Structure 1
Amino acid sequence: MSGGNGTASTVIETTEQRDLRAAVARLGARHGAGYDREALWSEAGKLGYLGVNLPQEHGGGGRGVEELSIVLEELGAQGCPLLLLIVSPAICGTVIARFGSKEQKRRWLPGLADGTLTMAFGITEPDAGSNSHRITTTARRAEDGGWILTGRKVFVSGVDIADATLIVGRTQDARTGKLKPCLFIVPRDAEGFRRTPIEMELRAVEKQFELLLDDVRLPADALVGDEDAGLLQLFAGLNPERVMTAAFAIGMGRYALGKAVAYAKERTVWGTPIGAHQALAHPLAQAHIELELARLMMQKAARLYDAGDDVAAGEAANMAKYAAGEACVKAVDQAVQTLGGNGLTREYGLGQLITASRVARIAPVSREMILNYVSHQSLGLPKSY
């Protein structure tokens, strides 16, 4: 069970998973909150943590999203989350492993597994956020059999350090004339592929970008998977994204909670540790409970996905992401409140988490859209849109 230092409960995990959690926690502790992203990424890759979910025959660990979520959560709990774990091995690696060609798997998976290659993911557009059916980035066939991509994307993480970006575009169905989603691998140096940084009120190692695809020409084999199964392939990446975002939020919440608990034990007023007062102790206990509950739903979602139950995993992954986002925001808020003025100083490093914690409420899908999903899909209530 967990103690008062933000450590994780592991009672429903296997011995292998507990060992992985402990080893990653030690790695995170060595790097700490002032971590160098490249150094941590490289070491995590060499140790096999980045590709723990990818197939063994392509250099991965042969495990699942559940193990990858452990890696991200434990690094986050030590103050050094690797945001691109959500994107590179979880979304892109999963999609390529499940649907990519033999050549795409050979080209990308070993590097994604050991960290020598990274891939970004572009789906959100200026006029198509949660409604992916309104995506306007289009792909049309070129005379040579390749593809020409045109469109824009926003809030794409890490494009400047990624070797390629997995872009969600739409192609025309020859039978119906309607547009259908498809996935394309776009190299960073592709002609007509331009990026512009988005200035964010968020202190993060990974930067956000707007992308312009100006008639980007790609070979025929840039298409991932079956052109007629794009929606299935897209959600094969989005469910792990939600699970990993939950892990990101839980790790951040645990980090903040651990700081607050340590402070509440040491800070004394009139000879008594402030943690002895129920006005502070109870909200911290509540934050701990809610983080633990969120982890249980995250584990359920990951296990359903790893077992191949995509439909049930979709519901659980959305619930996990919602629960973790809410728990993270509350944990960070209470941690700052516990430290008082010190909670906003750079020395303690909690103030910057106020903005960062809200990311888990907003991205990759907002809490409101998750509530829509649950009300429609789980409860069978009618839509208002």
Structure 2
Amino acid sequence: MTSTHAFTESEERQELRKAVAKLAGKYGRDYFVAQARSGEKTTELWLDIAKHGFLGVNIPEEYGGGGGGIGDIAAVCEELAAQGCPLLLMVVSPAICGTIISRYGTEAQKQKWLPGLCDGTGTMAFAITEPDAGTNSHNISTTARRDGDGWLLTGRKIWISGVDEADNVLVVARTEDARTGRLKPCLFVVPTDAEGFEANVIPMELVSPENQFQVFMDDVRLPADALVGDEDGGLVQLFAGLNPERIMAAAFSTGLARFALGKAAAYAKERAVFGQPIGAHQAIAHPLAQSHIEIEMARLMNQKAAALLDAGDDMAAGEAANMAKYAAAEAACDVVDRAVQTHGGNGISQEYGMAALLVATRVGRIAPVSREMVLNFVAMHSLGLPKSY
């Protein structure tokens, strides 16, 4: 007989969610928006998460982490967002960079960088996207060339989150294969204060304390140990960070979706028109109920993706992670639109905070991979259709 609890998260994971929700609830949406609108950071919350052991929950214990999996750090990300505090750097620092360094770094690199990712003092950004490559990561032109014992790195990156809050950036570059002359992808840890490294903030309509940057690197000199993983490891090492990125993006979206749905449902119970709460009308109730269903389906797919990744099934995890990210972004965009409509005129006021979520959730349809590229992936890999691009 099959266990009825096959789709229930472990008691430990559920307790983790409660603890993170309780901590984040002390800060809440008002704190997050106030910090964003005043140009301040959420460092206090970040360090508080770290102090309680939540920030590095997916990183091995010997480096200061919790020894958990991607499902655990995704739960932390989701519960923060569900309390109105969606932290983009959760996706980048512990999940992408932490996973890649844990899996492919040398012992010395792990000891050097992982403890800081766990305690919040060594936040690391991630740089893959380029102005001329966009979604086509095979066209990355940032190059690293050998120079004595070290490397010289030159290139441009765009849409890089949190450079101003990070000590280092994990940069995806290319090195020349001495045998074939072809360029192959490699990962380098680059200090943000390195000579030749410049980062310019991109003005955004997004209400967030975390900024986006365009990065320029002009012959940035790096030591030999800046290279993470095998020089010949290629795309395998890069993709080790991209599945966690999609799972975290899905958690980010479902968390925000839950937050918006909670606000809309509360408003629909309180707001009375024509002598009764507006939630009594199916025109209000049905869209919100539909969103609840869509959010729960996206969460379940993300749970599957995380379980597959933690079990080491990278191929199946890639398919599930892309599906989860797609479903979560769609559910989040739809529920925020419905939440704005539920609030009526109040939905576009700063007081109720719904309108800012329109931009915040819309990002999920674009990044870290566009919905169209997810559909391309599913068409090719799940359905076996010809490659269309």
Whole-Å separation in 1 of the counterparts to 2:388 and 2:242: 24
RMSD over aligned Cα, in angstroms? 1.2
- Of the three residues 11, 15, 20, the one matched with 1:19 is 15
Work out whether residues 197 and 220 of structure 2, in 8 Å CA contact, stay in contact via their aligned partners in 1. Answer: yes
Match of 2:79 in 1: 74
Deviations 1:230-260 (A, max 9, x none): 2111000010000000000000011000000
Structure 1 stretches of 5 or more lacking a match?
1-8
Alignment partner of 1:56 is 2:61: yes
Deviations 1:12-47 (A, max 9, x none): 111101111111111111111123511110110000
Alignment partner of 1:107 is 2:103: no
- Of the three residues 117, 130, 136, the one matched with 1:131 is 136
- Of the three residues 150, 153, 158, the one matched with 1:149 is 153
Aligned residues: 376
Q: Normalization by structure 1: what TM-score?
A: 0.96
Match of 2:338 in 1: 334
Whole-Å separation in 1 of the counterparts to 2:301 and 2:127: 27
Match of 1:207 in 2: 211
Structure 2 stretches of 5 or more lacking a match?
36-41
Deviation at 1:129, TM superposition (A): 1.2
Deviation at 1:10, TM superposition (A): 11
- Of the three residues 172, 188, 198, the one matched with 1:194 is 198
Work out whether residues 152 and 213 of structure 1, in 8 Å CA contact, stay in contact via their aligned partners in 2. Answer: yes
Match of 1:33 in 2: 29
Work out whether residues 376 and 388 of structure 2, in 8 Å CA contact, stay in contact via their aligned partners in 1. Answer: no
Match of 1:318 in 2: 322
Equivalent residues in 2 for 1:360-379 (5 A)? Answer: 360-379=364-383
The percentage of counterpart residues that share the same residue type is 66
Match of 2:231 in 1: 227
Deviation at 1:178, TM superposition (A): 1.1
Deviations 1:126-179 (A, max 9, x none): 01111100000011110x221111100000000011000000000111222211
Alignment partner of 1:239 is 2:235: no
- Of the three residues 271, 289, 294, the one matched with 2:293 is 289
Whole-Å separation in 2 of the counterparts to 1:175 and 1:303: 39
Match of 2:94 in 1: 89
SS of equivalent residue, structure 1 residue 180 = strand
User: What is the identity, as a one-letter code, of the residue corresponding to 1:223?
Assistant: L
Deviations 1:102-131 (A, max 9, x none): 111011111101111100000000011111
Alignment partner of 1:216 is 2:195: no
SS of equivalent residue, structure 1 residue 228 = coil
Whole-Å separation in 1 of the counterparts to 2:178 and 2:383: 36
Work out whether residues 34 and 80 of structure 1, in 8 Å CA contact, stay in contact via their aligned partners in 2. Answer: no
SS of equivalent residue, structure 1 residue 63 = coil
SS of equivalent residue, structure 1 residue 229 = coil
Whole-Å separation in 1 of the counterparts to 2:93 and 2:388: 35
SS of equivalent residue, structure 1 residue 104 = helix
Match of 1:98 in 2: 103
SS of equivalent residue, structure 2 residue 217 = strand
Work out whether residues 10 and 18 of structure 1, in 8 Å CA contact, stay in contact via their aligned partners in 2. Answer: no
Match of 1:258 in 2: 262
After TM superposition, the structure 1 stretch with the greater mean CA deviation from structure 2, 257-266 or 29-38, is 29-38
Work out whether residues 298 and 328 of structure 2, in 8 Å CA contact, stay in contact via their aligned partners in 1. Answer: yes
Work out whether residues 239 and 313 of structure 1, in 8 Å CA contact, stay in contact via their aligned partners in 2. Answer: yes
- Of the three residues 169, 175, 180, the one matched with 2:179 is 175
Q: Normalization by structure 2: what TM-score?
A: 0.95
Whole-Å separation in 2 of the counterparts to 1:34 and 1:50: 22
User: What is the identity, as a one-letter code, of the residue corresponding to 2:238?
Assistant: L
Work out whether residues 145 and 152 of structure 2, in 8 Å CA contact, stay in contact via their aligned partners in 1. Answer: yes
Whole-Å separation in 1 of the counterparts to 2:62 and 2:317: 25
User: What is the identity, as a one-letter code, of the residue corresponding to 1:368?
Assistant: E
Deviation at 1:188, TM superposition (A): 1.0
Whole-Å separation in 2 of the counterparts to 1:102 and 1:67: 24
